[in-house]
Chain A
Amino acid sequence: MKKIVSNGAILQHIVMLLAAGMFIVPIIAVVGASFWDGASVTVKNYDDLLFNYFAFYPMFWNSILYATVIMIVQLVIIVPCAFGFSHAKFKGKGLLFTVYIILMMMPLQVTILPNYIGLRDLGLIDTRWAIILPAIFSPFGVVVMRQYMHGIDISEVEAMRLETNSIFIILVYAVIPQIKICIFAVGIFVFADCWNMMEQPLLFLKSTNLQTLSVFIANAEPFMGSALFPAAVFYIIPVLLLYGFFSSSLEKGLVFGELK
């Protein structure tokens, strides 16, 4: 009996390793291809990208700027929103949250056109605001964090309310310390989501110097095929570093309604 369990565990490990391998194969392929010129191992592809294609740098920094600003502003909006949905009592709360859920379920292709019309009427097309403004009110983080906030110790919030009426102080001293892990987790998701955005820059931006790295990679092939894979490696690194840094928070932070 013991031997059967052991064999089962080995089999499980093999299956899991194969599955993990399948996920990592594209990354290995991209890194491998970035050092391959079709005949030999070389760093020429990196040389081409870094010292011959200067549009890469503004696009890289644009991606960093958009993803960072959107992540920070979204988190500033998400926390009070989620706290309101989870603990405040007001009329129409359920209906408003249903609207949030519906918005979250809507595919990007449905919302992008109204966004475009709004931005066009505001004169914000082809500006950095065209990327930042529509993205900072994403409902995803509010829904995730609301679920997590159901598990916070409300007595701490009540105790703080005896000392102050300021919702800001209550959030900072009684709520945020309890949901730090969830904030990190949602922050990573928001950053990765913004980092990978493709349709919005393509539609809302025309100037090359405002575009993002994702657009650069999508359009790089006709100009410089050799530098495509190194660009993809540079595209992976920031998200990989962020994930590595907050991976433990990501796992714990998405356990809905449970606090460690």
Chain B
Amino acid sequence: MSLDEKKVALLAAALLFFVLMILLTLTARDVHKARLPRVVVYTPTYENFEENRRVLVLPMDIYTSNKTSNNQFEIYIIATKEINEEERNVVICAPIQVGVSNGMYFEVVRGLLGHELVVVSSDKPLNNGVEVFIVES
């Protein structure tokens, strides 16, 4: 390989490298987001339930990881965690105890405080601590 050919090859390699770096800089975050589980979240609300009791309710079709007994569920709530020097959304498994339901919602007896974001649905299976992308709330 002559000196000129070597320089042309190196110039091409340098151009390729920097073009690749520019593309990665512009798209890496979007690629990362596209690979995350996309979740829909719901903020539990206090509703008037039987006999005008104001209770914390959740939709019945909520995403659950495990139904440990009739009234025990494991749901996922959203938490922020510092990952690679950034605040990111992750899911945390939270066991809850539910009470009565009205067909659309059930009453949360224990396990939620009311201000958490609860995962309603996800396009991928979730595990405790997994980073997620919130598409809708």
Contacts and interface: CB of A to CB of B under 8 A. Distances in A.
A241 interface: yes
Given A52-B84, A223-B85, A245-B10, A61 B25 contact: yes
Given A57-B24, A245-B10, A245-B11, A51 B84 contact: no
A185 B85 CA distance: 38
A248 B3 contact: yes
Q: Which applies to chain A's interface (DSSP): helix, strand, loop or mixed? A: helix
Interface in A52-87: 52-55, 57, 60-61
Contacts, number: 43
Contacts of A53: 84
A184 to B, nearest CB: 12
Interface residues of B, number: 20
B60 interface: no
Interface in A20-72: 50-55, 57, 60-61
Contacts of A51: 28, 31-32, 35
A29 B94 CA distance: 44
A245 B14 contact: yes
A244 interface: yes
Q: Which applies to chain B's interface (DSSP): helix, strand, loop or mixed? A: helix
Interface string B1-38: 00100110011011001000100110011011001000
A241 B31 contact: no
Contacts of A223: 84-85
B13 to A, nearest CB: 6
Size range of the interface on A?
A: 10 to 19
- Across chains A and B, which 4 residue pairs bring their CB atoms closest together, nearest first? A57-B25, A53-B84, A241-B14, A51-B32
Interface of B: 3, 6-7, 10-11, 13-14, 17, 21, 24-25, 28-29, 31-32, 35, 83-86
Interface of A: 50-55, 57, 60-61, 208, 223-224, 237-238, 241, 244-245, 248
29 contacts: A50-B24, A51-B28, A51-B31, A51-B32, A51-B35, A52-B83, A52-B84, A54-B28, A54-B29, A54-B32, A54-B86, A55-B84, A55-B85, A55-B86, A57-B21, A57-B24, A57-B28, A60-B21, A61-B25, A208-B85, A223-B85, A237-B17, A241-B13, A241-B17, A244-B6, A245-B7, A245-B10, A245-B14, A248-B3
